[in-house]
Structure 1
């Protein structure tokens, strides 16, 4: 079965060229013309690598890289017309595996893609967040308290993961919404407060006296690192 590559690129001509060239080299390339479409595909399917344009019409490529990397360790090669060293440094710090400035030779892209795929031929790390009896498994999109699986919607799980990944930090509602901007927020049809309440009902011993997911009056929410 050919390796699956997700190309997030708004330049239709360039995307067609890359798709054709990599296709001729044995890869199956799926093209997304916007950041949102690319993120949706990433979350719906399993890809072996992602080619990500930095300059997208609806998404900052660096933010999208950060969002994708928070989901899993799929190799990312950033493609961009920007050539400044600082852009490259920021992209790599956010989790990109390589960086290729435009214009580029298709053969160089192929070589770099193969290189990041070779580096990724190891057993993938299965990252589970553990907080006492609470376990959050981002890969499975599942939270457990002891042996019980929490009944959370996808939106509620993503909200819980955002808070847990920043345990100990107070997050305002604006910060949370910004972190969730990769989702279709139109479907996030209830306030964050309502979703937090439902998360508490699943993860807290006493939802009326939360000790894990705490409201900071006038500031937002904080996910407690530890419990007594």
Structure 2
């Protein structure tokens, strides 16, 4: 947990440890970035407001080197904060103050998603190859810098290339939550995927949308 509110870290830490989690807390941006890059943690909880570096700077630095599941916290709770966090690679978002039970549930969902892949399968569609155990994906031999959520969405699309997958299924299975009426998190992850994948050589989008229904890879 990367948060400068030590009292909150103690409170949430007690809940998390009672639920079987081991917790490391750091209280400023640079130390949080170093801890996240160590690769020693299964998930990261990152506050938006931090001394030394703000949460978005820390998130950007984390995503340059690892795809550890990450949940952002923000006391402001503004939609623009959530959008920026998702654009930079956060997998989930909670506004502060948060219910510790919801944080536990969200972390469990992130961890379930990160360990649900088969350990001996790979997918190949065109110039993309994905290892479904690690969720690592290569395009033309070059490793793509995908977050866990982006990789899980892409895996679902690559498992059924050319077939429409509805938005609700993508949200439930890849993001671990039902899609609410004003929830743009799936759209933001799709937008990030399109940017990272680029277009087909003929200019067609690799991920096509059917308005109001869902997405397909084709």
Query: TM-score, normalising length from structure 2?
Result: 0.54
What's the counterpart of residue 69 of structure 1? 63
What's the counterpart of residue 32 of structure 1? 26
Q: Give yes or no for the alignment of 1:47 onto 2:57.
A: no
Q: Give yes or no for the alignment of 1:58 onto 2:52.
A: yes
Deviation at 1:130, TM superposition (A): 7.6
Q: Which runs of 4+ in 1 moved over 4 A?
A: 127-131, 135-138
- Provide the rounded CA distance (Å) in 2 between the counterparts of 1:130 and 1:39: 30
- Provide the rounded CA distance (Å) in 2 between the counterparts of 1:83 and 1:137: 30
Q: Give yes or no for the alignment of 1:15 onto 2:9.
A: yes
Q: Is the Cα–Cα contact under 8 Å of residues 37 and 66 in structure 2 kept in the other structure?
A: no
What's the counterpart of residue 106 of structure 1? 100
Deviation at 1:51, TM superposition (A): 0.2
- Provide the rounded CA distance (Å) in 2 between the counterparts of 1:43 and 1:99: 20
- Provide the rounded CA distance (Å) in 1 between the counterparts of 2:104 and 2:72: 13
1:111–1:136 Cα change, 3 Å: closer
1:136–1:75 Cα change, 3 Å: closer
Deviation at 1:73, TM superposition (A): 1.2
Alignment of 1:72-111 (within 5 A): 72-111=66-105
Cα deviation, 1:116-168, whole Å, max 9, x if unaligned, reads: 1112123223467988xxx8899xxxxxxxxxxxxxxxxxxxxxxxxxxxxxx
- Structure 1 residues not aligned, in runs of 5+: 1-6, 139-228
- Structure 2 residues not aligned, in runs of 5+: 118-132, 146-218
Rg larger for: 1
Q: Is the Cα–Cα contact under 8 Å of residues 73 and 124 in structure 1 kept in the other structure?
A: no
What's the counterpart of residue 125 of structure 1? 135
Deviation at 1:66, TM superposition (A): 1.4
Q: Is the Cα–Cα contact under 8 Å of residues 50 and 76 in structure 1 kept in the other structure?
A: yes
Q: Is the Cα–Cα contact under 8 Å of residues 82 and 93 in structure 2 kept in the other structure?
A: yes
Q: Over the residues paired in the alignment, what is the CA RMSD in angstroms? A: 2.3
1:59–1:127 Cα change, 3 Å: farther
Q: Is the Cα–Cα contact under 8 Å of residues 53 and 78 in structure 1 kept in the other structure?
A: yes
Cα deviation, 1:95-126, whole Å, max 9, x if unaligned, reads: 10110000111001111111111121232234
